[in-house]
Chain A
């Protein structure tokens, strides 16, 4: 893990470090050689850590006041909003924090897709990331159920019913998940328990994610392997810390804007109506961050196949390191991939849009085309592109624009532009 042996200067420090090498770890983290050309898209790892900690801290506070009971949950949330000191602030941070978390994670994922950060030797980092993403979705869904509003209740009903698509045992599984014959108090209490548990699982996986990152080191916008430490790297502290800090503050301004000025805009009005098992809201829409997958689910006319399509859309990402056959990591040197990348971004945004629309007519048609393209991108475009694409020359180091292959002067001149990507 560490690149060089470290000995604390003080006697006490050495005594302690010999028994538990925390100081060696701290030293590794501060000195960790990081590519100097990382751009702002790389700051989202730090931002995500901030999001996770914020959610855990505000969540712990909310749990002190929330009552996980079908008769009291809605009321206890109103109690938090009205009577608890700063309760409204803490709840709005937590609720909007979930959206901010997903916003950051989507940028983080798409950054990885653009610069090929999932490729060898970083496959394990990537797969741990996918697991974190899945757990995030689970935590977000479970958390959304807790206020026990109409969307909570019907969201829980619809999502748990997805399991009924499983042949033979489906119905049994759904009843087991509910602890009854419908979503009710037993469901709420277990959802609360799991919602409390999952963030700590995520935290553990984040540690593994960073550990796995520190073995090969960061990828970088040029996507080449670099020597560490070298002229191409800077120590994590203070260079990357301050840069991450700056980006985090910009992020926090956006976050604060939502919390203080439009705290309910990302939520759904129906969730301020207490759960009523007799009336379904006219429009059931998941939170915005789940909409693309919701669109995929609805675009398939068969119940079981729809669920399979939705799950595959996420799980296919885990196979990405092997589906992408290109030896070049960064899209900067892959002119064709770059175009397909932006088509994919647009495709996912379109899926998100139609996910919010009623599943009929033109919307349904668009959803089907977009779903088909989504899978096409991963299953056909990526593997083929790796063989067919003519990539542009890649420099040998970040600082010195020595090009491998051809003496392409145009690429040297473009050095500044890719640094800025």
Chain B
């Protein structure tokens, strides 16, 4: 009798377990279909011609649906960015780590607070200013004042040649 009960339990448990595995396997495609599809993933990199950008100018390009600021900085801006002491920063990062070539700052133009696009050459630090909730960024795109928690993000990029930057 006892043996029979055990076997019955095993049978029902196995049935439930196998059924649950199947249910999980069916639910996954329904969730995964909302992830970026193959055509979206394929657009992951953009090449930008920067030959027309003179020092002191910024261009904004679209990458993965978001703006990327490409700024050719003036010597003053570079000097200003490099002179800042790390302990003054909310999110300490050296300027060298953010701009491989100090003349070019390539940065995701999205405020790290809630995702607005900051305004160029505005704010208390001669860098960027986010109009949504008043975050001030310096000439290296680092957060100096306001609610944003971190510096603006640097995407993966490289110079394909002297005039072309590949983002992504």
- The interface of chain A, by Cβ under 8 A from chain B, is 57, 61, 64-65, 79, 82-87, 89-90
B38 A65 Cβ-Cβ under 8 A: no
CB-contacts of B40-56 with A (<8 A): 40
Of B28-36, B86-94, B130-138, B147-155, the one touching chain A: B28-36
Kindly list 5 other residue pairs between chains A and B, CB separation below 8 angstroms, not including A82-B39, A86-B33, A89-B29. A61-B33, A64-B33, A83-B37, A83-B38, A85-B37
Contacts of A61 in B (CB 8 A): 30, 33
B34 A87 Cβ-Cβ under 8 A: no
Contacts of A87 in B (CB 8 A): 33, 37
A57 B39 Cβ-Cβ under 8 A: no
Cα distance A86–B37 in the bound complex, in angstroms? 10
Q: Sample 23 A-B pairs with CB under 8 A, ordered by A number.
A: A57-B30, A61-B30, A61-B33, A64-B33, A65-B33, A65-B37, A79-B37, A79-B39, A82-B38, A83-B37, A83-B39, A83-B40, A84-B33, A84-B37, A84-B38, A85-B29, A85-B32, A85-B33, A85-B35, A85-B38, A90-B29, A90-B30, A90-B33
The 4 closest A-B pairs by CB, nearest first: A86-B29, A83-B38, A83-B37, A83-B39
Cα distance A350–B124 in the bound complex, in angstroms? 84
Contacts of B33 in A (CB 8 A): 61, 64-65, 84-87, 90
Cα distance A57–B33 in the bound complex, in angstroms? 12
Contacts of A64 in B (CB 8 A): 33-34
- The interface of chain B, by Cβ under 8 A from chain A, is 29-30, 32-35, 37-40
Minimum CB distance partner of A86 in chain B:
B29
Cα distance A29–B35 in the bound complex, in angstroms? 38
Contacts of B29 in A (CB 8 A): 85-86, 89-90
Cα distance A57–B34 in the bound complex, in angstroms? 14
Contacts of B34 in A (CB 8 A): 64
Most chain B Cβ neighbours within 10 Å, of A61, A85, A89: A85
Cα distance A83–B39 in the bound complex, in angstroms? 6
Contacts of B37 in A (CB 8 A): 65, 79, 83-85, 87
**CB proximity of B39 to chain A, nearest CB, Å:** 4
Contacts of A86 in B (CB 8 A): 29, 32-33
Cα distance A86–B30 in the bound complex, in angstroms? 8
Contacts of A89 in B (CB 8 A): 29
Most chain A Cβ neighbours within 10 Å, of B30, B32, B33: B33
Contacts of B35 in A (CB 8 A): 85
Minimum CB distance partner of A54 in chain B:
B26
Minimum CB distance partner of B38 in chain A:
A83
Minimum CB distance partner of A85 in chain B:
B32
Cα distance A317–B37 in the bound complex, in angstroms? 47
Contacts of A65 in B (CB 8 A): 33, 37
Cα distance A399–B155 in the bound complex, in angstroms? 76
**CB proximity of B12 to chain A, nearest CB, Å:** 10
Cα distance A65–B29 in the bound complex, in angstroms? 14
Minimum CB distance partner of A57 in chain B:
B30
**CB proximity of B83 to chain A, nearest CB, Å:** 49
Cα distance A79–B42 in the bound complex, in angstroms? 14
**CB proximity of A206 to chain B, nearest CB, Å:** 21
Minimum CB distance partner of B32 in chain A:
A85
Cα distance A84–B32 in the bound complex, in angstroms? 9
